[in-house]
């Protein structure tokens, strides 16, 4: 574990729309006038706040290590800090110097749209990483990668399971462009990308 004398705030803003930003996240953001994060969050920040693009991880780590006693750094992230978030890697490196502010994850939104519980649902991320190991036999969710890679990723799932296995493909959950499509994996794999970020809920 690396050392830093400062504090890092990791503030989750949900899917990126105003109505999903929690009161706790808004209160945390009031402490800062400068943030690091994805440009799509600029409209969610306090008036006049400056948003700096997220640098490469090595550069971000070095910047955190250089924080002086009492200094604070604010990062804004999508979804929830506890669900495939940058917060996890920061906490592994800097421990209790990282403050987590929770948000609403895309999985929570999808579960609500489908009126299903996600309490014991296996979930895996293919965003920036290959899938390793066997797919579960029952119900599960995949966080898919960049939009252009989604058809190939679904085709791979269909090959491992069955083209007739049913699933729900959800794009841009919580945003005006949100779209859900239910059908066999084979059909979903042949669809063109319809958004920026996608989840695949594979039915039992």
* Domains recognised in the chain with CATH numbers: 7-104 (3.40.1010.10), 107-202 (3.30.950.10)
Could you tell me whether strands 34-37 and 72-77 are parallel, antiparallel, or unpaired per DSSP bridges? parallel
Q: Rg for the chain (alpha carbons), in Å? A: 18
pLDDT in tens, 135-160: 888 999 999 978 899 999 999 999 99
Q: Which residues contact 33 (CB under 8 A, 6 or more apart)?
A: 46, 48, 49, 50
Provide the β-strand partners of residue 178: none
Q: Quick check: helix, strand or coil at residue 199?
A: strand
Provide the β-strand partners of residue 183: 167
pLDDT in tens, 18-66: 999 999 999 999 999 999 999 999 999 999 999 999 999 999 999 999 9
| Helical packing angle, 57-65 and 86-94, nearest 10° | 40
């Amino acid at each position: 574990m690396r050392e830093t004398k400062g504090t890092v705030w990791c503030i989750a803003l949900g899917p990126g729309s105003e109505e999903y930003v929690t009161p706790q996240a808004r209160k945390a953001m009031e402490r800062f006038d400068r943030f690091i994060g994805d440009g799509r969050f600029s409209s969610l920040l306090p008036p006049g706040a400056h948003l700096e693009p997220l640098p490469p991880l090595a550069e971000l780590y070095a910047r955190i290590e250089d924080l002086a006693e009492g200094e604070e750094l604010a990062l804004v992230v999508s979804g929830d800090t506890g669900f495939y978030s940058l917060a996890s890697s920061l906490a592994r490196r800097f421990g209790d110097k990282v403050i987590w502010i929770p948000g609403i994850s895309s999985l929570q939104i999808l579960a609500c749209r489908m009126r299903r519980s996600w309490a014991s649902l296996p979930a895996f991320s293919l965003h920036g990483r290959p899938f390793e190991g066997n797919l579960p036999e029952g119900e599960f969710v995949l966080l898919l990668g960049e939009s252009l890679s989604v058809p190939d990723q679904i085709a791979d799932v269909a090959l491992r399971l069955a083209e007739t296995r049913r699933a729900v493909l959800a794009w841009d959950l919580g945003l005006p462009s949100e779209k859900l499509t239910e059908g066999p994996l084979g059909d979903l794999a042949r669809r063109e990308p319809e958004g920026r970020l996608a989840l695949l809920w594979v039915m039992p």
